[in-house]
């Protein structure tokens, strides 16, 4: 027997290399719900780094809906949707989403990630051109990797480059697709959707907007970035997640009837993986009902994010050019950004550091994500700690 065989020496070497480079980390453990204040690794901290924008992740109404669904449908759907895993609750969620998004149809997946992987693979082919913004989310990139098509990338939000690519593609491909995030998650800036849609219509390209961070935060009642720009009916595929502002788990694509029908036959994560659990599905449906009736959580979210952005900017932090509730605090140096986040955590504020290669070299940052249910006192306390650490580290003058 080769004793070395099962020690996974080659992986241990990779892990050791991470440690050598200071890139090794352990997973933080949250012992409760993803609330505005939580207990992390046994210590109470102000939570400024979740995607639980509307605080729906621990909302009593959603929890009750999930419990009722478990009582009626069980804890698991029991199969993929194409066999017997398609329960009434899944159909109901899709109908509720389509109505909410003003779309012909919505097709649900087990996650936003699955949605990109499955949809892109199903709708694109080898004779197509796939054009992508440089800063698109990893799940778009992974989805594009699954297609044997020609791929081009344009510099972030550079409409001139996009137009040049579209112009050069004329007559050369079967279909041309433009892929973009609706909200870019590292800077919190919006895609230039009105221009993208204009260009797409001019050159006959399809548009695909991944609105994971825009779902529940942007547009009327959280209908998303496409709604924010008044572009209903002019974007061919709108991806949303149920895992961020909606507070649960899952993803969906808002699309045409024909797209829906094709996806039920070719979306591989739906064909080959068990469907969303009844509890997740019912909770997400409840969230959509709440958003439809009432936009007060969305208003609270925006008020909180505006407040913390103003406070941090006034202290002298560089908060970039965000147009959404995402607030980057740009430190610059990678190690310094990591150190900043570490010191904040020691004093009771949890924000994640984001560094190269996730963002360009020299733009290391922490990313502040508030929730609707953060109180003013909690935000003030967080700002006070930001100030203290900023001065201590020489990021702020005084
Ligand atoms: C978070 C995110 C996803 C993945 O969504 P999940 O539902 O968490 O899998 C996809 N695209 C973008 C742009 C995201 O920010």
Question: For the whole prediction, is pTM greater than 0.75?
Answer: yes
User: In the chain, what's the furthest Cα-to-Cα distance?
Assistant: 67
Q: For residue 106, report the distance from its CA to the centre of ligand 1, in Å.
A: 17
pLDDT value at residue 173: 98
Residues 319 and 259 in one domain: no
pLDDT value at residue 42: 86
pLDDT value at residue 295: 97
**C-alpha span between 283 and 294 (Å, rounded):** 16
Residues 247 and 321 in one domain: no
Encode pLDDT of 172-192 as tens digits.
Answer: 999 999 999 999 999 999 999
**C-alpha span between 364 and 337 (Å, rounded):** 5
Q: Which domain holds residue 138?
A: 60-293
**C-alpha span between 8 and 4 (Å, rounded):** 8
Residues 68 and 132 in one domain: yes
In degrees to the nearest 10, what's the CA dihedral of 322, 323, 326, 330?
10
Residues 77 and 144 in one domain: yes
pLDDT value at residue 342: 94
pLDDT value at residue 93: 98
> Would you say residue 306 lies in a domain?
yes
Encode pLDDT of 335-382 as tens digits.
Answer: 899 999 999 999 999 998 998 888 888 999 999 999 999 999 999 999
Encode pLDDT of 233-282 as tens digits.
Answer: 999 999 999 999 999 999 999 999 999 999 999 999 999 999 999 999 99
Residues 199 and 93 in one domain: yes
Is-catalytic flag, 306?
Answer: no
pLDDT value at residue 267: 98
> Would you say residue 359 lies in a domain?
yes
pLDDT value at residue 75: 98
Residues 267 and 159 in one domain: yes
Residues 195 and 332 in one domain: no
Q: pLDDT at residue 2 above 80?
A: no
Residues 79 and 44 in one domain: no
C-beta 112 within 6 A of ligand 1: yes
Residues 220 and 266 in one domain: yes
**C-alpha span between 342 and 278 (Å, rounded):** 38
Percentage of residues in the chain having pLDDT higher than 90: 92
Q: Indicate the residue among 293, 311, 342 that finishes a domain.
A: 293
C-beta 214 within 6 A of ligand 1: no
**C-alpha span between 120 and 320 (Å, rounded):** 31
- Range of weakest confidence among 101-110, 113-122, 234-243, 332-341: 332-341
Residues 299 and 288 in one domain: no
The total number of structural domains in the chain stands at 2
CATH of the domain at 32: 3.90.1150.10
CATH of the domain at 101: 3.40.640.10
> Would you say residue 398 lies in a domain?
no
**Mean pLDDT on 50-74:** 98
Ligand 1, atom 14: closest residue by C-alpha: 212
C-beta 50 within 6 A of ligand 1: no
Contact 101, 302 (CB under 8 A): no
Check 55, 111, 132, 185 and give the catalytic one.
185
Residues 288 and 304 in one domain: no
- Range of weakest confidence among 22-31, 45-54, 55-64, 78-87: 22-31
**C-alpha span between 137 and 383 (Å, rounded):** 29
Residues 196 and 273 in one domain: yes
Encode pLDDT of 8-27 as tens digits.
Answer: 999 999 999 988 987 788 89
**C-alpha span between 160 and 283 (Å, rounded):** 43
CA dist list (Å): 395 to 46, 353, 356: 21, 15, 19
Q: For residue 179, report the distance from its CA to the centre of ligand 1, in Å.
A: 14
> Would you say residue 134 lies in a domain?
yes
Closest listed residue to residue 329, CA positions, set 370, 297, 298: 370
Across 59-69, b (16+ Cβ under 10 Å) vs e yields beebeebbebb
- Range of weakest confidence among 51-55, 304-308, 393-397: 393-397
């Amino acid at each position: 027997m080769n004793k070395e065989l099962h020690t996974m020496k080659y992986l241990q070497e990779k892990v050791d290399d991470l440690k050598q480079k200071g890139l090794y980390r352990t997973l933080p453990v949250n012992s409760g719900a993803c609330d505005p204040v939580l207990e992390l690794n046994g210590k109470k901290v102000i939570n400024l780094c979740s995607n639980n924008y509307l605080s729906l992740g621990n909302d009593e109404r959603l929890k009750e809906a999930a419990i009722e669904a478990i009582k009626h449908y069980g804890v698991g759907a029991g199969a993929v949707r194409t066999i017997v895993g398609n329960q009434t609750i899944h159909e109901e969620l899709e109908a509720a989403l389509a109505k909410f998004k003003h779309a012909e149809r919505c097709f649900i997946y087990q996650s936003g990630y699955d949605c990109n992987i499955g949809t892109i693979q199903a709708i694109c082919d080898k004779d197509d051109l796939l054009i992508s913004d440089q800063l698109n989310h990893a799940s778009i990139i992974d989805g594009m990797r699954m297609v044997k098509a020609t791929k081009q990338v344009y510099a972030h939000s550079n409409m001139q480059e996009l137009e040049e690519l579209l112009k050069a593609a004329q007559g050369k491909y079967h279909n041309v697709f433009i892929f973009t995030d609706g909200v870019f998650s590292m800077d919190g800036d919006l895609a230039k959707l009105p221009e993208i849609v204009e260009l797409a219509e001019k050159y006959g390209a399809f548009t695909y907007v991944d609105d994971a961070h825009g779902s529940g935060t942007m547009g009327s009642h959280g209908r998303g970035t496409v709604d924010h720009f008044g572009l209903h009916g002019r974007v061919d595929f709108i991806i949303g997640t149920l895992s961020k502002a909606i507070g649960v788990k899952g993803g969906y694509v808002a699309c045409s009837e024909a797209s829906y029908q094709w996806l039920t036959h070719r979306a591989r994560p739906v064909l080959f993986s068990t469907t969303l659990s009844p509890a997740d599905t019912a909770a997400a449906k409840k969230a959509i009902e709440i958003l439809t009736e009432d936009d007060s959580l969305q208003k609270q979210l925006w008020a909180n994010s505006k407040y913390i952005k103003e406070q941090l900017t006034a202290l002298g932090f560089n908060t970039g050019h965000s147009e959404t509730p995402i607030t980057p605090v740009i430190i610059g140096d990678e190690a310094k950004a990591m150190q900043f986040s570490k010191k904040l955590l020691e004093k009771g504020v949890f924000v994640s550091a984001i560094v190269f290669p996730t963002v360009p070299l020299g733009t290391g940052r922490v990313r502040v994500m508030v929730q609707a249910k953060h109180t003013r006192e909690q935000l003030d306390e967080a700002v006070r700690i930001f100030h203290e650490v900023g001065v201590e580290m020489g990021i702020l003058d005084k």
